[in-house]
Chain A
């Protein structure tokens, strides 16, 4: 198990932000955390990275107890914030050098790792340019490159593609997939972009009202989102159509045999976004 959270609670003064939250994430998985604004996603990720304290609960990360092994957990984790968390007046190389040194990398090791991160994120052309001159996409890549410096076992990515063009986004998503596949890095990915989570993640959880309200593999979630509703006089019958329509045809035949009048057929072949809106009741969150 990469992460095991039991009964996690967090209050801001008297407001509950995380309510008895429990969650497990497998080693090597690409975990997507979805949730409307104010659900507690950032708080959860912040707690995992020691940016905030929790009020109660247990967290175990790669076998380390959260409270007892802060140093060890920090060593195997890396956090890429939503903001451009680097120094705009430093060059890409100077930023990587600074953060690499903070991770405790020494001269040759540091150079080697910087070169690897530059290569993975294709920053070769930008290493000697000051970061404030970069486009949004290049800034995002530098943000991720810094997060890879300590060869993390767990990489937390908080909305890493906000405000960039589709090409850059596609590139970043592929980089994340590559890191997960080649380095076996467990990735915790939070985003508002459902299609990103759908494209990227194999394990998805939805956080709403300060709790995990759904946690499934992508496969199972998409199954849940593919069904057809048959409206009869007596009831609404939902048929899960998965990859084929055999169950739907069988149901139609059964209803025909029973002489049941079909009033309407609703094809609810939903994607993850629709499922998300359905589950979270589609209410506007402030």
Chain B
């Protein structure tokens, strides 16, 4: 009997083109777009460097400044002597214009009170990048002055001059064997995968509500079919579809994104952990979908309630806006979203190289969430005498 229940559900899903679009095409597009759009955020090089205009006169010192700025991966500078700052930013498309007098060194060395350097920025430049440039520029001038001082006083400061190179940034993984380079694709795949898994709500609610409204559920109830078989018959096919989503999105990360000049998704053999996490996410998503289908009278109602809930849970859960950019109180709220549990668990595997002990709490939360909604659905069905 059970094989026919599964066959029925698979046939219904395979003939629901809209559901397939939502479950497979929508997340694929999101993963491609977000992986490529955020590529530079997680990389130490960028394709389009910030354009810097050094508004000053050409001297040996200002040439040195240009030379040092251009050693950086993020900025590209040239000397332009023009007083019209707005023209430089809005007509000549410079991101940053630095106004500095050519005698800046002597002014600094003699502690001139009126000395200042103005950094004009296009307001679209993020605060992070403004500070990055300001620190870089301060460092270059400091190094230039100190270098001359050391030469003059015959002090060997080779190490100090190479200090930047001596400071290493080392990603520290929980499990060294699973070490993975953090790239945009490592974040995008789990994020949009969790999001799309929760959209299993669309086909589940459509079938469930049609069964309710067309009297099919009454017919099923009049036959000797245990409630357990009906519910399990719904959960198993959708669970398998969720796993297909996982496989499909991972393949997109491994094979499609690199074709489009993005980074390749790295898994490093953590298949068991990924399956455990995806099973827990799937259970939570399916149970939530069954609950929404139960409290809705029409497919439109379910799609609206479910769609809005999914988007809110995604926004709260760090899918749309990464949790690390949120203020602390928002991060606390994010921790209440089941999508966040799913995402954090997957990030532990995809980015941190975590092991089972790192994801067990998330699995537990997701199972509790799913069980809660399944029990609620049972009680609602029982109250409506549908069991």
Instruction: Say whether B11 contacts A89, CB under 8 Å.
Output: yes
Instruction: Say whether B385 contacts A78, CB under 8 Å.
Output: no
- Give chain B residues whose Cβ lies under 8 Å from the Cβ of A98: 4-5, 7-8
Q: Is B16 an interface residue when CB atoms closer than 8 A count as contact?
A: yes
Q: Is A26 an interface residue when CB atoms closer than 8 A count as contact?
A: no
Known interface pairs A87-B8, A90-B8, A97-B4; A71-B224 also in contact (CB < 8 Å)? yes
What's the least CB distance linking B203 to chain A, in Å?
11
Q: How many residues of B contact A (CB 8 A)?
A: 24
CA distance A85 to B37 in the complex (A): 48
Instruction: Say whether A102 contacts B215, CB under 8 Å.
Output: no
- Give chain A residues whose Cβ lies under 8 Å from the Cβ of B222: 49-51, 74, 77-79
What's the least CB distance linking A231 to chain B, in Å?
50
Task: Give the size range of A's interface with the partner.
Answer: 20 to 34
Residue of B nearest to A150 (CB): B223
CA distance A19 to B243 in the complex (A): 53
Q: Is A101 an interface residue when CB atoms closer than 8 A count as contact?
A: yes
Interface string of B212-252 (1 = CB under 8 A from A): 01111011111111000000000000000000000000000
Partner of B221, one of A51, A87, A94: A51
Partner of B215, one of A75, A83, A150: A83
What's the least CB distance linking B211 to chain A, in Å?
8
Partner of B216, one of A46, A71, A85: A85
Q: Is B15 an interface residue when CB atoms closer than 8 A count as contact?
A: yes
Instruction: Say whether B223 contacts A99, CB under 8 Å.
Output: yes
Residue of B nearest to A106 (CB): B1
Residue of B nearest to A105 (CB): B1
Instruction: Say whether B221 contacts A50, CB under 8 Å.
Output: yes
**With A74-B224, A81-B219, A85-B216 already in contact, 6 other A-B pairs whose C-beta atoms are closer than 8 Å:** A50-B222, A78-B222, A79-B219, A83-B214, A84-B215, A87-B216
User: What are 29 A-B contacts with C-beta separation under 8 Å?
Assistant: A49-B218, A49-B221, A50-B221, A74-B222, A74-B223, A75-B224, A77-B222, A78-B222, A79-B218, A79-B219, A81-B218, A81-B219, A82-B215, A85-B215, A85-B219, A86-B216, A87-B12, A88-B210, A88-B214, A89-B11, A89-B16, A90-B8, A94-B11, A98-B5, A98-B8, A101-B5, A102-B1, A102-B224, A103-B224
